[in-house]
Amino acid sequence: MLLSTEEAFDRRPELRALLEGLPRGQLARALAALCGEDYCLEDDSGTPLVCGTAWRGGDGGNRAPLEHELEIVGWLCLGPRSPVAAQALVPMLALLLLAAARYRMTAALHVAAIQEDYRVLLEKHGQLAQSEERLRKLSAELESRVQEQVAIIERAQRQLYQTEKMASVGQLAAGMAHEINNPIGFIRSNLVTAGGYVQRFAQLADAARRGDGAAVAAHWQRGDMDFVLEDFAQLLQESIDGADRVARIVADLKTFSSVDTTEDALVDLNQNLRSVVHMAQAQFGHVRIELDLQPLPRLSCHPGRLNQVFLSLVQNAAQAVADGGVVRVDSASSGDAVRVRVHDDGVGMAPEVLARAFDPFFTTRAVGQGTGLGLTVSRDIVMAHGGRIDIDSAPGRGTTVTVTLPLARGRGA
């Protein structure tokens, strides 16, 4: 049920309810004007509803039924002094009742419809609120899921960087070991020879202490001391050179020991390039690595990370060329940026390989030979410096990688 019975627009029309829809005072005045004050409107059970001031019960008067919707809903009762018969007023009153009923029914139906509209609106509102709540929950969940994924990606990326760093350092270490082993080998051999020479000098010293000039001369002759003297000096000089080489390698390595420091430094990149090339040269003996460095303004950067980039590029270049191939590293300044180029005359890249060169884990080398991360990480590092990295390559024509680093711009991420 939409409405309770007393509110329903189609309820049985009672005279009392119908009269409430009419201006009561006006009805009374109109009746009094027509038939004097000696009148009364009763409902169908005889209860007086509207009576004139002179109404005394209607003895000797007359009455007529008021019909509405086929039923008698009340009576018009007139006293004996009324100038008109009750029946004469009935059509007018019926018309009034019809108008009143029409108004009451319409008003009640209107209210019912409005209430129903409102109920439907509330229902829809409730559904909307529910779906909004679902969306809100979903979006909150989405936020946390995205954060979760971002955390996973960031963790994976840190692992990637670490992997690439370990791989390049590992390759480097293999080259370094060889390079340090070499001088150590000949220094030790020289020292053993020098030990033999010292024994000959000891024998010569014995003869000299005794003042035996002939024995000294004999020993000198037998020990080929002219050669020993000459060779000893040569041997020492060789060993000093070897020690210097080791010292230089250690110094270069020290440059790389700054990989994990996080502070920026103001550096001349040419020095870094020299270190990098030294180390790469040590690793790739069969390749000639040339340097062509122009004076550079000092650049605020993370030197350790850029070393990693340049070493990675030079290693790539060296691996691309055959024995006797040439890798050239040059640097130049264009006023607002520093440009470093690593060029090789090696095999070059096909367009489809070039297109994927920066993709993580993309590698053309055999399993275990490359991580497929060198260029990925290099690009990230260069972009973090606000710079860019470009590759120009074609099969058989070699490859040129250009790194451009702005002087003015601060580092990004």
Partner 1 sequence: MAEYDEARATLSVKVVYYGPALSGKTTNLMRLHDILAPELKGELMTLDTRNDRTLFFDLLPVGFRAPSGLLLKFRLFTVPGQVAHDSTRKSVLSRADAVVFVADSQRNQSVNNGESFENLAHNATVVGLDFEQLPLVVQFNKRDLPDVLPEEEILARWGRAPWPVTFASALAGQGVVETFAALLARLYSSLDARHELAARHGLAREAFVSAACGGTVSCC
Cβ atoms 46, 60 nearer than 8 A: no
Cβ distance to partner 1 smaller for residue 114 or 174? 114
- Give min distance, CB of 97 to partner 1, in A: 10
Which residues in this chain contact partner 1 in the complex, by CB under 8 A? 1-3, 8-10, 12, 44, 69-71, 98, 101-102, 105-106, 109-110, 112-114, 116-117, 120
Cβ distance to partner 1 smaller for residue 109 or 291? 109
Cβ neighbours of 344 (radius 10 Å): 26
- Give min distance, CB of 104 to partner 1, in A: 11
- Give min distance, CB of 1 to partner 1, in A: 6
Q: Which amino acid, 275?
A: S
Burial class (CB in 10 A: 0-12, 13-18, 19+), 237: exposed
Q: The tokens of 327 are what?
A: 């890798």
- Give min distance, CB of 360 to partner 1, in A: 59
Cβ distance to partner 1 smaller for residue 120 or 353? 120
SS3 at position 371: coil
Cβ distance to partner 1 smaller for residue 30 or 101? 101
What's the rounded Cα separation, in Å, for the pair 247 and 180? 9
- Give min distance, CB of 47 to partner 1, in A: 14
- Give min distance, CB of 36 to partner 1, in A: 30
Cβ distance to partner 1 smaller for residue 45 or 262? 45
What's the rounded Cα separation, in Å, for the pair 374 and 311? 10
What's the rounded Cα separation, in Å, for the pair 251 and 247? 6
Residue 324 vs residues 264, 292, 318, 346, 347: alpha-carbon distances, Å:
38, 19, 10, 11, 13
Cβ distance to partner 1 smaller for residue 43 or 179? 43
Q: Buried b vs exposed e over 19-45: b needs ≥16 C-beta within 10 Å?
A: bebbeeeebbebbeeebbebbbbbbee
